[in-house]
Structure 1
Amino acid sequence: MPIGTSVNYYNFIPDDDTDKDVYMQAHGTSFDGRERHVVIHWKNGRLGDSPVTQLVQLSGIRGNFSYDSLPIAKIRNAATMDSHTQYYLGTFTREERKLLLELAKDIEYESTSTINGCRVWMRDLLLAMVNKDLISEETFDQIEENVPLPERQPEQ
C-alpha cells in the first residue's frame, strides 16, 4: 500500500478507547487576510515514524464544500504540522470524541457557498462544543480571535 496523504488509514489505525489530546489546527502561523483552513485532529497512532491523525473538517473550496461523516485518518508529517498553529482543545475520552463527531455531523453548511467556508463551520462546531462542555468559553474566545473565526453570513 503506498504511503500518501490522500489515503484514509482509519481502517488500519482506528480510534481507540484511550484518552487523547485534541487540537484545532489553523493553516500557517498567522492570518494574512485570505482563507485559512482549519481542522480538528487527534492522534490515532503511528505508521512507521509518521503520526496518523483523525481529522474533523469541512473540506473543499469556496463553492464546493463537503463534510465526510465517515471517520478519516491521515498520515501527517510532523514538520508540516509544526508549520501550522495548533490550539489545544483538551484531553478527550472516547465518548467525548464520539460526541464531537456527532456535533460535527449536525453543523449545517451550504456546499455551494462562496461566503461561509470552513472557518465559519468550525466556529459553529466550537460553539456547539462549548454548549456541551467539551471546551471552555475562554478556549473558544482565544481561537475565535486569533484564527480568526468569522460569524455566519446570509447566503446571497
Structure 2
Amino acid sequence: MAEVSLDALDKAILAALLIDGRQSQVDLAERVPLSPTAIARRIRALEQAGVIDGYQARINRKALGLTMMAIVQISLESQNEELLAAFEKAAAAAPSILSCYMMSGQDDYLITVLARDLADFERIHKEQLSRLPGVSRLHSSFVLREVASRSLPASSLLK
C-alpha cells in the first residue's frame, strides 16, 4: 500500500478519532475547523484510502477475567515458506493469541497471549502454543504491568 499524504485537517481528525472513535461529526467539527459535512467527506475519503482501517471498542480485559498477559517468543524448526505459512495460519486461528509478529533476530515470532491465570496459561500453552506447526522452542515472559498501550501514537500524526 502506498503512503497517503495527509494535510493538517486530516491529521487533526485522526488525532481526535484516536482519542474517541465514537464522537459524532458535530463533535469533531467543534475540534477541527470544518463543517460536519466536510468532516464526514474527509472521514469517508480516509476510509476509502485505507488510512482508517476500521473501528473497534476498547474492552477492559480484566473486567472479563483476563488478568494475565504473556509475551511468547517462538523459534521454528526451519524457515521454509510452507512451514511459515502453516504456522501463521494456525497462529491467526488460535483463539487465545492477541497478536503475532514475524521477527528478525534470534526468535522467529513474538506472540501476545491473554489468559485468566497461570493455570489457564498452562492450558493455552499445552493445547494451542505447543501445537503450532514447526515450533522448536517457546519462551514465555509474563507482563507485570501495562505502562502504555496505543493503536498509534499521536506523535506519528505530527510529521
Bin the TM-score by the shorter chain. under 0.3
Q: Which has the higher helix share?
A: 2
TM-score, normalized by length of structure 1? 0.27
TM-score, normalized by length of structure 2? 0.26
Which structure's CA Rg is the greater one?
Answer: 2
